[in-house]
Chains A and B, each alone.
Chain A
């Protein structure tokens, strides 16, 4: 079955420290991959996406993610977090060419920032 797993429900890092949020997926073929961010009480905003090509993708707000086919992973990274990065982060996958399939979201990782 198709699925997206974000193994960490909560992560706490100090301001200025580096960050890595994990995402693993199970899919029949390499899907499109996304990371979204959600501030409390708000909708989701797209951080970055991977369709094909370079496996290291750059996004907004200084985030990047690396696609590793062998590990079925798409981990999100940031070299130095800011207090404003505190939010919930969702990894998602979407089908390539199969219009009958749906976007699938992970359950999210809530990021806490220590001053």
Chain B
């Protein structure tokens, strides 16, 4: 079945460590997105990519980095520069930025 897979579902890291969240899709979608979700804040866009080897900053890109070396994959690295990294992270993809997005099941990152 086609879909988006985020792994792991839960992730714990010590403060000061970088951590990479995985997002893989087999829907052949060009566009991929990373969102951060905090209680009461809705979805905030971190980075998005409309094509391989190209990506743009979203509204809250500071302290995060991404790569898009393959169409299927859009990993997100949470760096030690991110002041408050504990959150629920959602990856999404769409065949066109103007069309509906498919979401992964999310990764809950806890930094202790």
Q: Using a CB–CB distance below 8 Å, which chain A residues touch chain B?
A: 9, 32, 34, 36, 41-46, 49, 90, 94-99, 101-103, 105-108
- Interface size bracket, B side: 20 to 34
Is B33 part of the binding interface, using a Cβ–Cβ cutoff of 8 Å? yes
A42 interface neighbour in B4, B97, B106, Cβ under 8 Å: B106
Is B25 part of the binding interface, using a Cβ–Cβ cutoff of 8 Å? no
Whether the pair A107, B33 counts as a contact (CB closer than 8 A) is no
Considering the chains assembled together, what is the distance between the CA atoms of A32 and B94 in angstroms? Answer: 13
Total number of A-B contacts with CB less than 8 angstroms?
62
Q: B98 to chain A: which residues have CB within 8 Å?
A: 32, 94-99
Q: A102-B45, A105-B43 are in contact. Are A94 and B97 (CB under 8 A)?
A: yes
Kindly report which residue of chain A lies nearest to residue B9, judged by CB atoms.
A41
Whether the pair B48, A90 counts as a contact (CB closer than 8 A) is no
A65 to chain B, nearest CB (A): 13
Kindly report which residue of chain B lies nearest to residue A9, judged by CB atoms.
B40
Q: Binding site of B, secondary structure by majority: helix, strand, loop or mixed?
A: strand
Whether the pair B108, A41 counts as a contact (CB closer than 8 A) is yes
B40 to chain A, nearest CB (A): 7
Considering the chains assembled together, what is the distance between the CA atoms of A101 and B100 in angstroms? Answer: 14
Q: Which of A9, A103, A105 has the most CB of B within 10 A?
A: A103
